[in-house]
Structure 1
Amino acid sequence: MDKPFKTFSEQVKILNTRMKTDEKTIYYLMRNNYYSIINFYKDPFIVNRRKEIYRDGTHFNDLKSLYEFDRNLRTLFFNYLTQIERFFKTMVAYHFSEYHDVNKVETYLDENNYFKRKKTRQTITDIITILKNIKNNDKLPIISHYHRTNKDNIPFWIVIHFLTFGELSKLYSILTNDVKNKVVASCQELFKTEYGADLIIDKLFIGSFLKACSRFRNAAGHNERFYNYTLKEFLNIANTSGITNNNKKLFSIYEGLKFFLPKEEYEKLTDELKKLITSLEKNLNTDWENKDKNKKYNVLSINNILELMDFPSDWQNK
């Protein structure tokens, strides 16, 4: 039988043939799936993939440390990607409503208010259908309130709240260029106020960035391995933005967040990221079997992990 059932004790015995463990390993496996730790986080520690031979001195706690680092990294970025989602929902609803006549009701349901081309036709239909379903959904308390009070208009800034990040990205892609340019101008104005510098981006950059953020947020939300998550498809977001690293991984998202987060929020993100990386570096160089915790050995450099994340070693100075 392929991959037969193994007891927790048998799982530890398998690990003992490949790496060091301790008396706490079995209890950790009882709370955390063996497959989710070993198969997802073993690669940086492997020196021979075919025979599954690990670096000398590798301890289960090293993989555990990377596993917990990744869990905390997902939580950290999920929070800030949620802020980006909320920010762009605000920007899109505001500028769309302002541009398409504030005196008309539910202009977001009019296909003529979108960028109509052959390649966008289906997306427009899909998005309008989603918006109609939200507008008519009496299970949503705020929507139900509007229906009960016989309001003749449910504003876009209410309906847009219920879109997913992916749907928001698609919505942005079908906005008219005039509306997109207004969103860009607002982003540039906020950045100038926060950082005292000009922000050189365009509407294409925002579309690409939203698409990438949506994918990373989904990866975080679905507990996928995150620290080296890679987009198979990634639109070019580097050329006009000044982003120094356009290599489909987390560092590009981290750099891009600076353009749209409040300055104090981006600084908090950076500080929290430093703490996570510093903690991982300490754990990767701990002799887990030695009572003298000041004794170090070099199983894996933190720079190996940073490289897998596409973070340069001096990332915090960029």
Structure 2
Amino acid sequence: MKASTPPPPPAAPSGTAVPFDSTAQLMTEFSTQLGDRLSRVRLRGLPPRPPAFRPSEAPRPVRPPDAPRPTLVAVAHGSRDPAALRTVTALLDRVRELRPGLAVRLGHIELNAPLLPDTLAQLDGQAVAVPLLLARGLHADHDIPAALADAPHLVTRLARPLGPHPLLAEALHARLEEAGARRPNAVVLAAAGSRAPESAADTARTARLLSHRLGGVPVLPAYASAPTDDGPPGTPLSVPAALRALAARGHRRPALASCFAAPGRFAAQCAAAAPGPAAAPLGDHPALARLVLHRYDQALAARGGCVQDTLGAATVTV
């Protein structure tokens, strides 16, 4: 005997709520009506949901091209000694190796080509003049600024001379060691010299820096351009006078540190007077090349002129 199936509930008149015989039917009807009303709200003017952001579709900022770095114009003194030009050229080759892409040019104050005005005439844009001089004096304070002023087509800056600086003392120390003066008991620091008092002050500071590197060994500054005879107290000493002063203190064979960037008459004259080891000029020593770049960077960072050094340890980015 088959079980009878209950008949469906009668249809309700229009406008009359339909009775539900289970909770499931009630929930189904509720979901249907809710979805229908939400769809009507969206169709009546709510803005559509924006598309998801994709970083790959974002516009990329346009980076302006890097401005060219100012040309480094190394200003050498010049010499009739043919080895001087070769030495300065080797130094600038080392500078280029340390800073690839930097334009480096050479100009001389006198005696050698190219002269500084000729080098400046061939440039455009910006330039930084770095004197390959080891102290202040007439060339650094007058001659080079005058040449820059005569090149109005350029935007120029003038760096400090290379000395005094710890990197200069490092190069002097290394040249002494190469000459066999690893542990000298005294040193004469031979420099070109100048009538400018700033030159003597700079050379004296370099002598103190070198003495510090040597562990307190006495270092006496002396000048190739000073009179050979001893002058009044406070007068800059010539190399022979400095040697006599050290001999009077018991130092009969002091070493000679050559505070010259390149070979020349003064460097040869001072070395010939030394009774002990005589160092070669600084030339293309790596510390000197780093110092050239340090002075270039200093001039770019300075506002309105040269900056003074705090004679501490130098951090040089090349």
Into which bin does the TM-score normalised by the smaller protein fall?
A: under 0.3
Q: Determine which structure has more spread, i.e. the larger CA radius of gyration.
A: 2
Q: TM-score, length-normalised on structure 1?
A: 0.24
Q: TM-score, length-normalised on structure 2?
A: 0.24
